[in-house]
Amino acid sequence: MEEWDYLENGPHRWEELCDEFKFACQKHMQSPIALSTEKVTNSLDKDFLQLHYEEDIYKIRWSKHTFHFLPKNKKNRVKFNDNWFYLEDIHFHLPSEHSIDGKSYPIEFHLVHYSKAREVLVVAVLFDCIQNTFRGGKASREHSVFEWVEGCDEVEIDLSQFILSKSSYYAYYGSFTTPPCRGDIHWVVFSEIASLSSRTLFSFLEKYGWRKNNRPIQEQLQKKIWYAG
């Protein structure tokens, strides 16, 4: 099987690379999708999603065309629809994969959680810019912080400084956005957009450049889109 990527074997060819990819892409409702308040069919209380994030140590790995941050202790978790989901991976896509109210953004982080039954919940956070600033590890209403040291294989990350626990969000059922793009994935996409302070990421992009690693917007087959505002 040919290796998938975002160039010659990019999203336009993923279904052609193997039967597993083709089956998943044709069977399941796919992600990402274009989100907007006009498409909302149901409302949620904000407390339907409860974030329990704290500082943890993460291993840094390069895999599948992006950096992955893998928690060592797996103590970060979220409660969604009365079920607990535990964080197992953080990675990002440039530019964003979802759009909100017709607009895409420079970067989108995915926080991938699993329940004890191995159900998947992905929390997506979009940012309108990446700033080369140092904020002493402290976030604000307008700025999230995500830093690591280039060349190190571990980093300490405090997700309470990265995500706003009371932000509004969309929720829907979709798929992973990378092959095999299997479905039955719970998605939570925050609708409030902040700036990202990350000197490391800014320096990395300036130094090495970056080929886009995002899947284009997929046809929306979902009949229900929830919103907590």
The per-residue pLDDT for 129 is 80
Q: How many domains does the chain have?
A: 1
The per-residue pLDDT for 123 is 97
Determine, yes or no, domain membership for 5.
no
The per-residue pLDDT for 125 is 94
Determine, yes or no, domain membership for 7.
no
Determine, yes or no, domain membership for 54.
yes
Q: Which domain holds residue 224?
A: 14-228
Determine, yes or no, domain membership for 2.
no
The per-residue pLDDT for 35 is 97
**φ, ψ for residue 102 (rounded to 5)?**
80, 5
Instruction: Reduce the secondary structure of the chain to three states and give it as a string.
Output: CCCCCCCCCCCCCHHHHCHHHHHHHHHCCCCCCEECHHHCCEECCHHHEEEECCEEEEEEEEECCEEEEEECCCCCEEEECCEEEEEEEEEEECCCCCEECCECCCEEEEEEEECCCCCEEEEEEEEEEEECCCCCCCCCCCEEECCCCCCCCEEEEEHHHCCCCCCCEEEEEEECCCCCCCEEEEEEEECCCEEEECHHHHHHHHHHCCCCCCCCCCCCCCCCCEEEC
Residue 3 has pLDDT above 60, yes or no: yes
Determine, yes or no, domain membership for 8.
no
The per-residue pLDDT for 206 is 73
Determine, yes or no, domain membership for 94.
yes
pTM more than 0.95: no
Q: What's the rounded mean pLDDT across residues 19-26?
A: 88
Q: What's the rounded mean pLDDT across residues 208-216?
A: 83
Determine, yes or no, domain membership for 209.
yes
Which has more confidence, 116 or 196?
Answer: 116
pLDDT tens digit string along 136-167?
445 455 567 777 777 788 998 888 878 865 67
Determine, yes or no, domain membership for 19.
yes
Tell me the average pLDDT of the chain.
88
The per-residue pLDDT for 113 is 98
The per-residue pLDDT for 134 is 54
CATH code: domain of residue 169: 3.10.200.10
pLDDT tens digit string along 30-46?
999 999 999 999 999 98
pLDDT tens digit string along 70-127?
999 888 999 999 999 999 999 999 999 999 999 999 999 999 999 999 999 999 999 9
